[in-house]
Each structure stands twice: as C-alpha cells, then as structure tokens.
Amino acid sequence: MARELLEGNRAMAEAAVRAGVQAYFGYPITPQTELLEWMSKRMPELGRAFLQAESEVAAINMIYGAACTGVRVMSSSSSPGVSLMMEGISYIAGTELPVVLIDVMRGGPGLGNIAPSQGDYNQIVHGGGHGDYFPIVLAPSSVQEAIDFTVMAFDLAEKYRALTFVLADGNIGQMMEPAELPPMQPVDRPIPDWAVRGAKGRERRILSSIYIRPEDEEVTNLRLLERAGKIKENEVRYKEYFLDDAEIVVVGFGTAGRVAFSAVRAARAQGIRVGLLRPITLSPFPSEAVAELAAHAQAMLVVEMNSGQMLDDVLRPVAGQIPVEFYGRLGGVVPFQDEVLTEIERIAHHPPTIEFDPREKWIRRMKEILN
Amino acid sequence: MMDVPAQVVYSRPESLTSTPTTYCPGCTHGIAHRLVAEVLDEMELRENTIGVAPVGCSVFAYNFFNCDFVEAAHGRAPAMATGIKRVLPDRVVFAYQGDGDLASIGMAEIMHASGRGENITVIFINNAIYGMTGGQMAPTTLPGQKTTSSPDGRDVEQAGYPLRMVEALATMQGTGYAVRRSLHDPKNIRLAKKALRMAFEVQTRGLGFAIVELLSSCPTNWGLTPKESLKFIEERMIPVFPLGDFKVHPALEGLRV
C-alpha cells in the first residue's frame, strides 16, 4: 500500500473497515464526526451494519448487542459523548465482550469546546463506568499510529475478550498527514464459542453482566483482574527516544508526547541530555519502564493536555526516587514546542528538588505564564 | 370406569426451561412468558431466536426461556436488540420490557426503534408500578394510584399523566403492529397469545416494528390478593389503557392465527 495524505478520523474509520469491523453505531459529535460520516458510506457499500443512533447511549447499547453476536464491532465519539456511553461501557466490561471504542478527546468539563484535549485520561484509563474493570487503552500520536492502533485494538480486544480504547485527541482526529492504510482483511472470521446467535443444535447461551450472588460477582471481578494482570505482562507498549544517556526524562502521550518530542530534539541540539518516554498503552501503563528510568535519571518532566491525570501514574513507580515536574495546558489548549523546551531548559539549569508537589509548582508557573 | 388412553394435552413448551420462575404468586409475568414460549414453539423459532431481557422483575427472564438470551441495561433493550438484528437480520430478536424500563428510562430507545421500523418484536408488560424496586410510581401508574413514591396517590397536577405507549408507537411510520391486550382472564389470555403470534409473524415477514402491550398484575406491590388484582386490571386499568389494535400492517389482513 502506498502512503497517502489522510485525515485522522477518516483514516481510523477505514482502518477499522480493513480490520474487518462488521458493525458500527455512532452519533455525530465534533471533533470525531468525519469517522461516522466515513462509516455511513463505507459500511453499507460493503454490506456491513451501520446506523446513526439516536444518542451515544443508544449507540453503545447497539454495540453491546452486536458484540454479543461475536463479530468485530466499533463505535466512536468525543468526550461528552463518551461520558454518555459510560453505562454501556461498564456493562460491556462486565459481560467480557471484545469491543473497540475510539475517543477523540476535546476540551472539557461540560460542553467545553471542540479543541484537542487529553482530559478524558482518568475517565478512560481508570474507569468512569461503575465497578472494577480494566480496559486496554492505546494512545496514538500520529495518523499512522491512529491507523495501526485501531487495527491492533481489534486484535487485542479479541485476544483478551476485553474492551479496548483508542484514546486520540482532536489533533489526531482532524489533522492530515501521509500515512499508509493496511490491507483489507477478510470478514469471515471464526465465531467465538460464547457468541449468541440462536441455539441451533446446541444448548442455549446467555450473555449478561449480572451476577446476583455477590460470591459469583467476586469471582468475576477476580477473573477481570487476573486478565488485566496477563495483559500487563504481555502488552505494555511504549516508545523511547534518546533515553540511553538521558539525565532528564520527559513523559508524554499522544499529541502532548509528539510536541514533547520536538522539544526534546531542540534541547538535544543545545547539548541537554534529555530523552522522551511516550507510552502507547496507557492501560496497561508502562510503570516498570518509568521505574527503571527513575533509577538512572536525575529528573522527570510529565507533559499533558490536562491537569496532570497521567502524572499520578508516573509518580507511583518513580516512588520519590527523583524529582518529577509537570507541565500541562488545559481546556483545549495545545502546548507549543517552545513552552516544553523552556521547561526542559529550566530543569537542566535549575535542577528541581523533590519536596514540592509538582502540580502546585506548575499552577504557580502557569499563573506567571498566563499573566 | 372406562379405560381412556393417556394423552398429553398440556405440557411445558420446549421454549421454556424447567427452572421455576421467581415471580410472586399471582403475578402474570409467568403467563406472558408461557404465551411467548408457546408462540416460539408453534412457529418453530426457538433455535433461531435471541431474546433481550430488561432490568426490572423480568431481569431473570433468560433463566426461564430456552433460547439464546442477552441481558440489557435498564431501558436499553431495543437498542441492544437493534445491534443484534442489524448483524443477524435472519434471526428473530425479541425484547421483553416492563413499564419503567420501556416507558420511562427507555423512552428514547423504544421510540427510535419504532421510528426506524426496526424489525424486532417487543413484549411490553404494563403493571402500572415498579415491581423490582418495591412498588414505586411508574410512568403508567394510574391517576390517584398509591405507590411507595406517590403515597397519597398519583397527583396528575404534580406527577403528570400515565403514558399510553402503544397509542404513541402506533403513530410511528416504522411500526407494523401495535396492540394492547390484557392477562386478567382466560379469554383475554387467549387473545393476548394471538397478538403475540401476530407480533412474531410481523417480524418473520419483515413488516417492521411490532409491540404487544400486556396489562399485568402486581399483587405484591398493589397490596391486593391475586384475585383482586385481576379485578383491578379489568375495572381500573382497562379504562385508562383501552384494549385494542392501534396499528396493524395492511399485509396482515386476513391472516388467521
């Protein structure tokens, strides 16, 4: 396949089509609507199920039903819409169904705005729906990764009977850049032996998230937890840049990670020994890689487009070994490379100490920046 | 005494499991289940059918039906049924919902499933109360009816009026069949079964969305005996929820079941 100039939303939609998605249900919301629009044309022409649902609530429950038939299914939305899906997300997790969901994050809380944000990190990575469940979460930082991770999401969802998110942001969804689409996969995949398709010549099957006896629900919860452990063993993914001799380690995912990469390169040009860790799986989080880096580096800088939601996941494995600083932009503001470079320079020239809360320090600096 | 050869005249339909239901004594859910199961047997649909259970008293319906089943979130059964039917259009998909599930929290899903002409069958159990949570006011609670959340009786000035769902759904172009029946006596039970048969015929013939509302009893939460409850349906519910055919697809004309 040749590289083409592709927009993120449409590229993710086409990637899902080529990964063999058999049903897509969604609802329009900026900045992911192009994905739904692409599906509205592509799915029917391939004889696959597409429906514009009456709401995200309905969309996720249509997905819930379609997933019960054992075929590849997907929905997509953006932050406020994903909030509406949370009930269904919890049911899907509780029923242990392989479902792929794409969240193209925008500024919040509330109606917020339609600019790129990473404000859904906690909602997606640490739950958001009720109960104990552990989705797989993949964070692309380019259109190519958005394509690749969409395909990978289907494979991981199927492998673990797990809910898998592609957590993108408005930048990834809206921007165009050269990327290569995967080949078309056949859709006649084997149907799993738990699927509900009519009890022809076999015992009936039931798919449900209800375990009325607490003891049974506890067993289910433990099974989900064990599965999450297995996923953590096998599927942690991240990218490392210039980390071999890095004294300062920048950690950032998605668009923030991509901006941070440019800043790291600029700082390297100045002779600052800085590198970047860009988590690809936000869940399972690359905690061991962070701990390993913390054992050798002198300081860390976490860059996000939120108030430091991933910061807490970095602080845990760092465990006070070295100072961790934070730089975030909020509410739909994307940091410029220069802002991150300034932070790297500050840390290089004035090494921070551990005793201050990184978030409080950042808020003080933010006030200076904004004034 | 003459020797009469033994003949089975009544037995459990194949579409029902042998699991005893968990419904209260005098509740008509059990009758509704049996009627649906008899229709599935008669039409030989059991192995080709997927049921969608609601949240409410019939949350465990999947334990009692001997066919593939899924369990929906509260009110979302029509959306879940849609997802299944769109992937497997040659299967028979039915949703079984109560009044809180269908007419309150699931209002959007039921209206849009009907509006799309979703080719599914919905069995709507209207007993004018929330049974599972212990007798609160439902969207179909009668004016003046006492419940645990309308202790002085439903005050229509404050809590509004009961919703007539099949009348509303009959106005939708996508609806092929919308009728109301009652389970309060043998004659009406027979009529209810015919309506259920029609509702599944609508689906197998691809005539759109089909719904059968069944007026049902809830002795436990109404605070009445089973017998009084049946009288309550006849005397109190039917005047508010008149029985009848509100929409029947013209292609069904002349079909005798």
Q: Are residues A137 and A200 in the same domain?
A: yes
pLDDT band at A219 (very low <50, low <70, confident <90, very high): very high
Q: Are residues A28 and A67 in the same domain?
A: yes
User: Do residue B73 and residue A207 have CB atoms under 8 angstroms apart?
Assistant: no
Mean pLDDT of A63-81: 98
User: Do residue B84 and residue A51 have CB atoms under 8 angstroms apart?
Assistant: no
Residues B98 and B57: their CA atoms lie apart, in Å, by: 8
User: Do residue A68 and residue B70 have CB atoms under 8 angstroms apart?
Assistant: yes
The answer to whether the CB of A147 falls within 8 A of the CB of A15 is yes
Crossing angle of helices A214-235/A143-160, nearest 10°? Answer: 140
Could you write out the DSSP letters of every residue in B216-252? ---HHHHT--HHHHHHHIIIIIHHHS--EEEEE-GGG
Nearest CA in chain A to B63: A206
Q: Are residues A275 and A224 in the same domain?
A: no
pLDDT band at A366 (very low <50, low <70, confident <90, very high): very high
pLDDT value at A86 more than 70: yes
Mean pLDDT of A181-187: 95
pLDDT one-digit tens code per residue, A328-361:
999 999 999 999 999 999 999 999 999 889 999 9
Per CB-CB distance under 8 Å, the chain B contacts of A198 are 47-50, 67-68, 88, 91
CB of B155 within 8 Å of a chain A CB? The answer is no
The strand ranges marked E within A218-330 are: 238-241, 248-251, 274-279, 281-283, 299-304, 324-328
Choosing from A189, A218, A235, the residue where a domain stops is A235
Backbone angles phi, psi at A172, to 5 degrees: -65, -40
pLDDT value at A276 more than 70: yes
User: Do residue B72 and residue A61 have CB atoms under 8 angstroms apart?
Assistant: yes
The answer to whether the CB of A317 falls within 8 A of the CB of A287 is yes
Nearest CA in chain A to B106: A58
Helix, strand or coil, per DSSP, at residue A76 = strand
The C-alpha of B206 sits at a distance from chain A's nearest C-alpha, in angstroms, of 17
Closest partner residue to A61 among B50, B65, B76, by Cβ?
A: B76
- Close Cβ partners of A18 (under 8 Å, ≥ 6 residues apart): A151, A181, A182, A183, A184, A185
Q: What CATH number is given to the structural domain containing A362?
A: 3.40.50.920
* Chain B interface disruption, residue of A55, A69, A95, A212, most B CBs within 10 A: A69
Residue at B255: amino acid letter: L
Angle in degrees, CA B93, B94, B97, rounded to 5: 150
Q: Are residues A248 and A229 in the same domain?
A: no
* Chain B interface disruption, residue of A68, A84, A209, most B CBs within 10 A: A68
User: Do residue A197 and residue B81 have CB atoms under 8 angstroms apart?
Assistant: no
Q: Are residues A158 and A196 in the same domain?
A: yes
Task: Supply the pLDDT for residue A251.
Answer: 98
- Mean pLDDT per 10-residue section of chain B, whose length is 257 residues: 84 96 96 98 98 95 97 98 98 98 98 98 98 97 98 97 98 98 98 98 98 98 98 98 98 91
CB of B19 within 8 Å of a chain A CB? The answer is no
Enter the tokens of residue A310. Answer: 């991933």
DSSP assignment letter at A116 = B
CB of A216 within 8 Å of a chain B CB? The answer is no
Helix, strand or coil, per DSSP, at residue A242 = coil
Q: What CATH number is given to the structural domain containing A124?
A: 3.40.50.970
Closest partner residue to A204 among B69, B86, B109, by Cβ?
A: B69
Q: Are residues A259 and A216 in the same domain?
A: no
Boundaries of domain holding A323 = 238-370
pLDDT value at A370 more than 90: no
Q: What is the mean pLDDT of chain A?
A: 97
Choosing from A235, A270, A298, the residue where a domain stops is A235
Q: Are residues A216 and A90 in the same domain?
A: yes
Q: Are residues A208 and A350 in the same domain?
A: no
Q: Are residues A204 and A264 in the same domain?
A: no
List the 85-124 stretch of A: residues with Cβ below 8 A of B. Answer: 87-88, 91, 95
Enter the tokens of residue A267. Answer: 């700082």
Domains along chain B?
Answer: 29-251 (3.40.50.970)
Nearest CA in chain A to B45: A198
Task: Supply the pLDDT for residue B1.
Answer: 61
Choosing from A202, A235, A268, the residue where a domain stops is A235
Task: Supply the pLDDT for residue A188.
Answer: 87
pLDDT value at A87 more than 80: yes
CB of B159 within 8 Å of a chain A CB? The answer is no
Q: Are residues A191 and A84 in the same domain?
A: yes
Per CB-CB distance under 8 Å, the chain A contacts of B67 are 198-199, 204
Q: Is the dihedral of CA B176, B182, B183, B188 positive or negative?
A: negative
Enter the tokens of residue A91. Answer: 């049911």
CB of B84 within 8 Å of a chain A CB? The answer is yes
The answer to whether the CB of A33 falls within 8 A of the CB of A174 is no
Residue labelled with tokens 């845990």 = A316
Half-sphere exposure of A24 (CA within 13 A, CB side): 30
Enter the tokens of residue B18. Answer: 């042998």
What domain count does chain A have?
Answer: 2
Q: Are residues A64 and A76 in the same domain?
A: yes
Task: Supply the pLDDT for residue B179.
Answer: 98
pLDDT one-digit tens code per residue, A44-53:
999 999 999 9
Q: Is the dihedral of CA A152, A156, A157, A158 positive or negative?
A: positive
How many helices and strands (H and E) does chain A possess?
Answer: 13, 15
Q: Are residues A202 and A264 in the same domain?
A: no
